[in-house]
Structure 1
Amino acid sequence: MSDEALRNYYRERAAEYDEIYRRPERQAGLRALEAWIPQQLAGRHVLEIAAGTGYWSQFIALQAASITLTDLNLEPLAIARDRVQGRAVFVQADAWALPEAMGSFDAAFAGFWFSHVPLARRREFIAGLNARLAPDSPVLLIDNRYVEGSSTPIAERDDAGDCWQLRNLSDGSQHRVLKNFPDETELREAIEGLGEAGVYRVSEHFWSFMYFTPGI
């Protein structure tokens, strides 16, 4: 799937994206993350990558000094505008080319985005994100774990090692979507030389990884 294909998939999925947060088996894990994530970013000026419909943003905004939601698509951001309260700014921006005009931040968050980053481009993404952050800024990544029987199956693994799933939308269309499931070792390798003090947490359905940008 090209970057444009992934963009189109999420544009078409915007109205039904939040269905993933209604799955019964995920409720306990979601409640724990909804309480924990804002605490890690409290008082910070947060840059959120691929914010989508603002599901996580609504909790972060309650404790952050400010939050800037970025997404490549305007459709999910329109939903986020109605959902997120507090000091929130909404910016249409590419996660791979974050505009300097946004300024600098002292924290960053990306929910369910890192799994869509190709293996070969993980460090490129981390470096680009860090460029928009002050030294010693916390960066919090969260995503799905692969759970046999409850997750969309992995349809294939390509020559580069990336995993792909087939996703169906309510309009009947099917999309081939890049979806990797990194473990702790892979996440630490991604930030080697680019981040410090990585902390990995895992529950049945989700993982989180928080690191700090290098100090001065």
Structure 2
Amino acid sequence: MTRADFATPESMRAYYAQRAREYELVYHKPQRQDALRRIEAWLAEVFAGHRVLEIASGTGWWVPHGASRAAAWWATDLNPETLAVAQAKTLPACVHFGQVDAYTLQGLPDEAFDACFSGCWWSHVPLQRLGDWLATLHAALPAGSRVVMLDNAHVEGDSTPVTRYDEHGNGYQRRRLLDGSEHEVLKNFPTQAEVLACLGPRAEAVSWHHFGHYWAVDYRLR
């Protein structure tokens, strides 16, 4: 593989745009169904009554579950291709959509959010950008906001293997889409200690949840 084949922010965006129509196949794996049902029920409880900003919502798999009892839910993503898949779903009336850059929050709607959710985005943020990204996100939320970050846990024999690491410690996978094209994707599998160390000084009342194939960290902002 040449360096030209390596993942970049631009190639990652193009990959998820190209993958939009087949993205949710991963949620149909039989071995993940129990964890998914537990997470879906938990998210509905966590965000009941909240005005939620979702970062990098992708095709909106988590939206109908997290938003089922929410006061308002803004699902945001940079890719119009993935947003189009999400918008085609039958969703609660409280759901709205916005095209927003997860790193800069450019395009963020003028709303009074009191909660935030991100599902399977943390693992795609380069390690060297995590601190700045979280600081930007936290700055957009008022004190008392509830934040939930959910992502994949590494499960030997089920997770796509990491094929290389860069000088920052970021892992990369080689993925093949249904059209036969191959793509390199940045994908990290942090430990609990690594996640907690990144949360920053505003995080309090932190809880860690393990769902087998997934993990979640739940906290409030000072």
User: What is the TM-score normalised by the length of structure 1?
Assistant: 0.96
Q: Distance in 2 between matches of 1:118 and 1:213?
A: 23
The structure 1 residue matched to 2:102, chosen from 95, 99, 102, is: 95
Moved over 4 A (4+): none
Give the aligned residue type for 2:209. R
Name the structure 1 match of 2:92: 85
Distance 1:194 1:175 in 2: 36
1:207 equivalent in structure 2:
215
Is the Cα–Cα contact under 8 Å of residues 163 and 174 in structure 2 kept in the other structure?
yes
Number of the residue aligned with 2:56: 50
2:4 alignment partner in structure 1? none
- The answer to whether structure 1 residue 143 and structure 2 residue 143 are counterparts is no
Alignment of 1:62-141 (within 5 A): 62-83=68-89, 84-99=91-106, 102-103=109-110, 104-141=112-149
Residues 73 and 101 (structure 1), Cα distance of their counterparts in 2 relative to 1, 3 Å cut: closer
Determine the C-alpha separation between the residues in 1 that align with 2:102 and 2:138.
Answer: 12
1:189 counterpart residue number? 197
Equivalent residue in structure 2 for 1:23, among 2, 21, 29: 29
Do the aligned residues in 2 keep the contact of 1:140 with 1:209 (CA within 8 Å)? yes
The change in CA–CA distance for 1:101 and 1:79 in structure 2 (over 3 A counts) is closer
Partner residue in 2 for 1:179 = 187
Deviation at 1:123, TM superposition (A): 1.2
1:15-55, CA deviations, whole angstroms, 9 ceiling, x for partnerless residues?
00010100000000000001001211110100001101111
For the pair 1:3 / 2:13, whether they are aligned, the reply is no
The residue aligned with 2:40 is 34
The worse-fitting range, judged by mean Cα deviation, of 101-110 and 88-97 is 101-110
Asked whether the equivalents of residues 62 and 86 of structure 1 are also in contact (C-alpha less than 8 Å), the reply is: no
CA distance in 2, matches of 1:81, 1:88: 9
User: How far apart, CA to CA, are the structure 1 residues paired with 2:107 and 2:152?
Assistant: 30
> Structure 2: how far apart are the matches of 1:7 and 1:68?
20
How far apart are the structure 2 equivalents of 1:198 and 1:118? 23
Contact 2:147–2:218 (8 Å) recurs in 1: yes
AA aligned opposite 2:10:
E
Q: How far apart, CA to CA, are the structure 2 residues paired with 1:204 and 1:100?
A: 35
Q: Secondary structure at the match of 2:133?
A: helix
- Contact 1:126 / 1:194 at 8 angstroms: preserved in 2? no
TM-score (norm 2): 0.93
Shift of 1:192: 2.8
CA distance in 1, matches of 2:53, 2:140: 8
Counterpart selection for 1:162 from 159, 164, 170: 170
Instruction: Name the CA distance, whole Å, in 2 between partners of 1:208 and 1:33.
Output: 9
Aligned residue-pair number: 214
Q: 1:2, CA displacement in angstroms? A: 1.7
Aligned-partner Cα distance in 1 for 2:61–2:19: 14
Q: CA RMSD in A?
A: 1.2
The verdict on how the C-alpha distance between 1:192 and 1:87 changes in structure 2, with shifts beyond 3 A counting, is same
| Identical-pair percentage | 43
1-structure distance, mates of 2:132, 2:176: 30
CA–CA distance in structure 1, aligned partners of residues 154 and 206 of structure 2: 21
